[in-house]
């Protein structure tokens, strides 16, 4: 069942890339919330997120993500001047609920990947935060085109620095919770998003 779910995850992303390349970007990018919900469901079932402790950590990451994004959008103190588009679904005061979920999902999957490399809490936090920033870098290259979010003047170094600091804190909190998760599921969720953003960036560059 897990393998079938992972294969379908790749089918979704590959199909979207093909569809976008053929000129159907409005249709496929408009379905981004459903893709994010599928990824969340995949994580919930196979990571898994079934006990109250793990669910509580996920909720904490969600709240931190929503709060930092609210501060970022409404004050510009974090990340820079930016606003969210329509392709991330319903919003709370300008912040899509799915962006908070995305913060939690990314924290969990990168933590599982980092934990496979080392047992040191500090090293896990550093590797996990670095992985999150790497993915954010590639997403920043497609976010405006995809209708996810848009920066005034583009994302600068300050955006990535703030991302790293917040991600590092969440990663370290996850070590305090002794978070353990499925490496295979986490790796596929991370890599498929990284490849999707990378290839879409190439597609955009050729338009």
**What span, in angstroms and rounded, lies between the C-alpha atoms of 79 and 156?**
8
Total tally of structural domains belonging to the chain: 1
Write the pLDDT tens digit of every residue in 41-81.
999 999 999 899 999 999 999 999 999 999 999 998 888 88
**What span, in angstroms and rounded, lies between the C-alpha atoms of 77 and 61?**
20
Output the pLDDT for position 41. 97
Nearest to 110 by CA among 31, 195, 172, 52: 172
- Helix, strand, coil percentages (3-state) for the chain, rounded to 5, are 75, 5, 20
**What residues contact residue 154 under an 8 Å CB cut-off, 6+ apart?**
140
Q: Are 138 and 197 a contacting pair, CB within 8 Å? A: yes
Q: Are 204 and 142 a contacting pair, CB within 8 Å? A: yes
Which tokens is 170 given? 């969440």
For 51, the domain range is 2-206
Write the pLDDT tens digit of every residue in 16-48.
999 999 999 999 999 999 999 999 999 999 999
**What residues contact residue 46 under an 8 Å CB cut-off, 6+ apart?**
2, 5, 182, 185
SS3 82: strand
Q: What is the pTM of this model?
A: 0.95
Own/partner long-range contacts of 25-28 (Cβ < 8 Å, ≥24 apart): 25/145
The 8-class DSSP code of residue 152 comes to: S
Return mean pLDDT, the chain. Answer: 95
Let me know if 135 is exposed, middle or buried by CB neighbors in 10 A (0-12, 13-18, 19+): buried
Q: Are 102 and 32 a contacting pair, CB within 8 Å? A: no
Using 50, 70 and 90 to split pLDDT, how confident is the model at 153?
Answer: confident
| Mean pLDDT computed over 85-92 | 91
Output the pLDDT for position 31. 94
Using 50, 70 and 90 to split pLDDT, how confident is the model at 154?
Answer: confident
**What span, in angstroms and rounded, lies between the C-alpha atoms of 66 and 92?**
9
Using CA atoms, how far residue 3 sits from 8, 14, 64, 138, 158, in Å, is: 9, 16, 32, 26, 39
SS3 83: strand
Chain CA centroid to CA 129, Å: 12
């Amino acid at each position: 069942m897990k393998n079938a779910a992972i294969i379908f995850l790749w089918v979704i992303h590959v199909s979207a890339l093909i569809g976008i390349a053929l000129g159907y970007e409005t249709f496929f990018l408009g379905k981004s919330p459903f893709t994010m919900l599928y990824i969340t469901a995949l994580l919930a079932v196979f990571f898994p997120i079934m006990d109250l402790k793990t669910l509580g950590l996920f909720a904490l990451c969600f709240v931190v993500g929503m709060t930092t994004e609210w501060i970022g959008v409404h004050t510009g103190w974090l990340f820079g001047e930016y606003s969210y588009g329509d392709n991330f679904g319903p919003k709370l005061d300008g912040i899509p609920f799915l962006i908070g979920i995305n913060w939690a999902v990314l924290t969990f999957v990168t933590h599982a990947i980092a934990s496979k490399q080392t047992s040191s809490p500090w090293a896990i936090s550093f590797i996990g935060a670095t992985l999150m920033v790497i993915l954010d870098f590639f997403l920043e290259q497609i976010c405006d085109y995809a209708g996810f979010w848009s920066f005034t003047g583009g994302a600068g170094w300050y955006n990535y620095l703030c991302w790293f600091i917040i991600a590092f804190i969440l990663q370290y909190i996850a070590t305090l919770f002794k978070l353990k998760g499925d490496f295979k599921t986490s790796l596929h969720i991370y890599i498929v998003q990284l490849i999707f953003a990378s290839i879409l960036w190439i597609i955009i560059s050729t338009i």
